[in-house]
């Protein structure tokens, strides 16, 4: 039986299942499968969601601060800023080809179009992937499974 994510009120309510603290690859020292934490919380009168991401790469961390909210056209948008000085912006997209309850974004990057997608795991937590668009479809290059932090 599929897990049903309960959406909240308003346009940003689709992200309610992600609100909280999450971890994948706990304790890993493997740079190819690093420990990563994600925290989602509402801020500024529940008008925005702040996502804090920290990748533990052993000898250093790579951090991402993302703001999710509505742009001036009322489209759900993300603005991401990373510890290497880069930033990106993307908009909410239909990602139901991955899972019927998936939510995600597409962004135009220097190398082309990319997307990140979140969907519920059948037992606990959620999956997160990053894919790049190719002529043949989507090429997945990151897939992580997150569980609640204890």
Q: Is residue 2 part of a domain?
A: no
Write out pLDDT tens, residues 64-106: 999 999 999 999 999 999 999 999 999 999 999 999 999 999 9
Contact 112, 92 (CB under 8 A): no
106: domain range? 11-148
Tell me if 5 is assigned to some domain. Answer: no
Answer whether residue 96 is part of any domain: yes
3 within some domain: no
Which domain CATH number covers 36? Answer: 2.40.128.20
What is this structure's pTM? 0.92
Within a domain: 59: yes
Domain count, the chain: 1
The 3-state DSSP class for residue 98 equals: coil
Please report where in the chains the tokens 């510890």 appear, as a residue: 83
84 phi and psi, to 5 degrees?
-90, 10
Q: CB under 8 Å, gap of 24 or more: what pairs does 110-116 form?
A: 114/90, 115/90, 116/90
Q: Which of 87, 92, 29, 91 is nearest to 60 (CA)?
A: 29
In a domain, 6, yes or no: no
Q: What is the pLDDT of residues 19-66, one digit of tens each?
A: 999 999 888 877 778 899 999 999 999 999 999 999 998 888 999 999
4 in a structural domain: no
Is beta strand 61-70 parallel, antiparallel or unpaired with respect to 103-109? unpaired
CA distances in angstroms from 2 to 100, 116, 120, 144, listed in the order given:
10, 21, 8, 19
Q: Is the pLDDT reported for residue 4 higher than 90?
A: no
Residue 71 neighbours by CB under 8 Å, 6+ apart: 77, 91
Asked whether residue 39 is domain-assigned, the answer is: yes
């Amino acid at each position: 039986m599929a897990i049903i994510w309960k959406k909240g009120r308003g346009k940003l309510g689709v992200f309610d299942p992600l609100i909280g603290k999450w971890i994948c690859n706990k304790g890993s020292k493997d740079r190819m499968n690093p420990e990563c934490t994600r925290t989602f919380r509402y801020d500024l009168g529940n008008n925005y969601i702040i996502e804090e991401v920290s990748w533990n790469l052993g000898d250093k961390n790579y951090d991402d601060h993302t703001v999710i909210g509505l742009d001036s056209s009322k489209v759900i948008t993300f603005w991401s800023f990373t510890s290497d000085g880069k930033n990106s912006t993307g908009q909410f997209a239909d990602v139901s080809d991955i899972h019927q309850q998936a939510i995600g974004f597409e962004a135009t990057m220097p190398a082309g179009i990319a997307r990140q997608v979140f969907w519920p795991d059948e037992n606990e937590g959620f999956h997160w992937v990053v894919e790049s668009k190719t002529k043949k479809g989507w090429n997945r290059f990151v897939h992580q499974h997150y569980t609640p932090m204890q």
